[in-house]
Structure 1
């Protein structure tokens, strides 16, 4: 099955590296027994797009004032060109040029943001949705300082995360609120899940050996309801497997 089109026109030679996003995060690695990776939705979100990597390391300092000159950039290495960054808006906003003009099918748009669940103290990535189905020019990836401070963007660190979303389908969605008691089967499954989770948490707290061996309940991981039925269907994923970008005029690398 052919997926939606994503064409990436490099604007410079070289342009910043564009890669399929990875599921791992430093802070998740540092959790006890890597327990953060037990949250499948977290890992799936981390890898549900592509990242643009910073070509050179630099620091950015915000003085706390609102002028463009109040963000000061310093490369980590003398003489390095920071042409992929800009100070267009003031108010403690740092902008990046992605280095690509992206084109998608008309029915799809591009969600531009920071990498999901990647933490950076002192500065916050700003989200934007761009109509890349027709756009003949590019956009900026913007970050907003949260306080006067200095932050560092290392070489190879992602400064932009892109993923695709349908352009207007969400506008046809009508949220409908129900009382869960109206759906008897779903209500039974929810109560069963609540009961089992409470018992499992209590067993962990009491040091129950079987619970400790199991470590966590895996209903979501295996797409199973609390009653034991397999309910997730063919779209269930425990990890992403996105395609790496390739050059249109170059053969794919050998897979020896």
Structure 2
């Protein structure tokens, strides 16, 4: 399968596989947030598009296009084609620099990099039918308050991932008592008991629990006490392919 990336700029931004590292996660003692597998997997389930230059954006709170002032760290010939105030009302617009095409039935989710936090500005998300669309989309961020924000060179301003979204309409959410699924009930109760016991041991500063630090059932794809067969397709690390040049 192929994600086709057609440049629409002379020097389009770099695209790299999603990276697991986040500065706020690094700052925790023992990098504790990386133990949360859903966080790390979200960070790497897609590709990042990187800023080709560093710049500052400042919004004065007004509703006009001119109320956002953009200042690159140094002159760059492509700066005002890359990022601009287009939609007004505190919305900052980036041009990713590519027209993407996906296989039939696959769409592209365009959003900010997962779990990448920026004070004062919020990324907007869009779902694009890239299996037929013959023109590119923009990536937009909206200021949450007046002030300045910085984007560094090499910082991801857009995160793209793929999904077969049309199939979602076939799903019927159904709420039912867990007792209707005895196997799941047993697995859940066993996990809950182990979790409660482990937390009590941590609270008592039990040396074995302190050394273990955290339970790894989900990270390792295991059930406690052999309450079921471990999933064969469990993934706890994802590294996607780097874009290549093709004819």
Q: Provide the rounded CA distance (Å) in 1 between the counterparts of 2:89 and 2:9.
A: 28
Q: Is the 8 A contact 1:7 1:104 kept in 2?
A: yes
Q: Secondary structure at the match of 2:239?
A: coil
Corresponding residue for residue 180 of structure 1: 178
Q: 1:109 aligns with which of 84, 107, 110?
A: 107
Matches within 5 A, 1:10-49: 10-49=7-46
Tell me, yes or no, if the aligned pair for 1:103 and 1:132 is still in contact at 8 Å: yes
1:95 to 93, 96, 119: 93
Structure 2 residue aligned with 1:8 = 5
Corresponding position of 1:221: 219
Supply the distance in 2 between the matched residues of 1:200 and 1:176 (Cα, whole angstroms).
Answer: 32
Shift in Å at residue 230 of structure 1? 5.8
- Measured in 1, the distance between the counterparts of 2:206 and 2:35 equals 20
User: Partner of 2:200: helix, strand, or coil?
Assistant: helix
Deviation at 1:81, TM superposition (A): 3.9
Contact (CA 8 Å) 2:70, 2:84: kept in 1 or not? no
Matched with 1:127 is 125
The change in CA–CA distance for 1:79 and 1:171 in structure 2 (over 3 A counts) is: closer
When the two structures are superposed, what TM-score results if normalisation uses the length of structure 2? Answer: 0.96
1:79-114 per-residue CA deviation (whole Å, 9 max, x = no partner) reads 554120122111100000000000001200000000
Q: Which runs of 5+ in 1 are unaligned?
A: 250-256
* Match status 1:65 vs 2:62: yes
Give yes or no for the alignment of 1:76 onto 2:73.
yes
Query: Aligned pair count?
Result: 246
Query: C-alpha root-mean-square deviation of aligned residues, in Å?
Result: 1.3
- Provide the secondary structure at the position in 1 that maps to 2:6: strand
TM-score, with normalisation over the residues of structure 1? 0.93
Q: Name the one with the larger helix percent.
A: 2
Moved more, 101-110 or 78-87: 78-87
Do the aligned partners of residues 60 and 231 (structure 1) sit closer, same or farther apart at CA in structure 2, a change above 3 Å counting? Answer: farther
Counterpart residue number, 1:238:
236
- 8 A contact 1:223–1:230 mirrored in 2: no
> After TM superposition, which residue ranges in structure 1, 4 or more long, deviate above 6 angstroms?
none
When residues 124 and 234 of structure 1 are mapped into structure 2, their CA distance, relative to the original with a 3 A threshold, is same
Structure 2, unaligned stretches of length 5 or more? Answer: none
